[in-house]
Amino acid sequence: MANLIIRPATGAGNKVVVQDQAGAAVLTTADSGATLGNSTQDNITRLGTVTAGTLGSGVTGGSGLTALGTVTSGTLGSGVTMPAHSVIQMLESGNQNDYIASNSTGGQGALYGFPAGRVYVDVNSIAITPKSATSKFIIISSVGMNSMTARTTGAWGTALVKDNTTGYQSSTFPYYPATNTGWTYGPDISYTWVVASTSTSSVTFYLKGYAYGEGGSGTQTFSSNCSQLTILEIAT
């Protein structure tokens, strides 16, 4: 069967215009290609399942996208704004290493904005580059403890420090005085902190164990045998 061809009269700018009953243009040809009328475009609602391709930069989330279907592949671009409370990224670090901090003198100078009298050891760390300067980090830590020695005026615990500068307090003097606990093996230590990102520059969070001591005799130790550190960046 031969094709039925409809085309405008020869000459630049001549068009074929298909109209509806109200006289509105449904399809208008051009010198090259054609344009669908707005009402026609609005009625293209059964797009179905899109499995590949790229949405143009001018596409917006109007009602015309409600029948887009299930998008089964593709990557959200870096410019996409996630809804509040969405997880933007997650990093985790675990180890089964032994770490010991020993304090036999007490009275050390204050560090990271924490109380004085502490000897620290790095138990774990994560470097993270925030995706947003207005997001928040949920930082979850867990440390398993080894056999320790106790000082009459001692204590032990864990703390979070950003870039070895800014500390985020947990308990001030946990298990003080240490000799009163009667423990050889202390309980596991778990904490959760919420920290604002404030910029998109890379930061490193350190999970530190510490042995605290005041004046008096004996040696206070912090001794761990495993740790887990997890950071979730959350959109706000």
pLDDT digits (tens, 9 = 90+) for 70-93: 667 777 776 777 888 999 999 999
What's the mean pLDDT in 185-203? 95
Buried b (16+ CB within 10 A) or exposed e, 13-38: eeeeeeeeeeeebeeebeeeeeeebe
Residue 229 has pLDDT above 60, yes or no: yes
Share the mean pLDDT of the chain.
87
pLDDT value, residue 41: 66
What is the rounded distance in angstroms from the CA atom of residue 93 to the CA atom of residue 139? 11
DSSP annotation string for 24-51: -EEEEE-SSSEEE-HHHHHT--------
Per-residue confidence band for 7, with pLDDT thresholds at 50, 70 and 90: confident
Q: Are residues 32 and 139 in the same domain?
A: no
Residue predicted with more confidence, 169 or 101: 101
CA 103 from chain center: how many Å? 36
Residue 47 has pLDDT above 70, yes or no: no
Q: Are residues 109 and 23 in the same domain?
A: no
Q: Are residues 39 and 151 in the same domain?
A: no
Number of domains in the chain: 2
Per-residue confidence band for 152, with pLDDT thresholds at 50, 70 and 90: confident
Residue 203 counted as domain residue:
yes
Per-residue confidence band for 11, with pLDDT thresholds at 50, 70 and 90: confident
Q: Are residues 120 and 180 in the same domain?
A: yes
Contact 121, 99 (CB under 8 A): yes
Q: What pTM value is reported for the model?
A: 0.70
pLDDT value, residue 50: 61
pLDDT value, residue 212: 95
pLDDT in tens, 91-148: 999 999 999 999 998 889 999 999 999 999 999 999 999 999 999 999 999 999 999 9
Q: Are residues 33 and 150 in the same domain?
A: no
Residue 63 has pLDDT above 60, yes or no: no
What is the rounded distance in angstroms from the CA atom of residue 96 to the CA atom of residue 144? 9
pLDDT value, residue 132: 94
CATH of residue 198's domain is 2.60.120.1340
DSSP annotation string for 86-135: -EEEEEEEEE---EEEEESS--PPP-TTSPSSEEEEEEEEEEE--S-TT-
Q: Are residues 94 and 28 in the same domain?
A: no
Residue 31 has pLDDT above 90, yes or no: no
Q: Are residues 95 and 25 in the same domain?
A: no
For residue 165, the enclosing domain spans: 87-234
Residue predicted with more confidence, 171 or 200: 200
What is the rounded distance in angstroms from the CA atom of residue 213 to the CA atom of residue 218? 9
Residue 92 counted as domain residue:
yes
Contact 25, 17 (CB under 8 A): yes
- Nearest to 128, CA basis, from 76, 200, 80, 196: 200
Q: Are residues 196 and 134 in the same domain?
A: yes
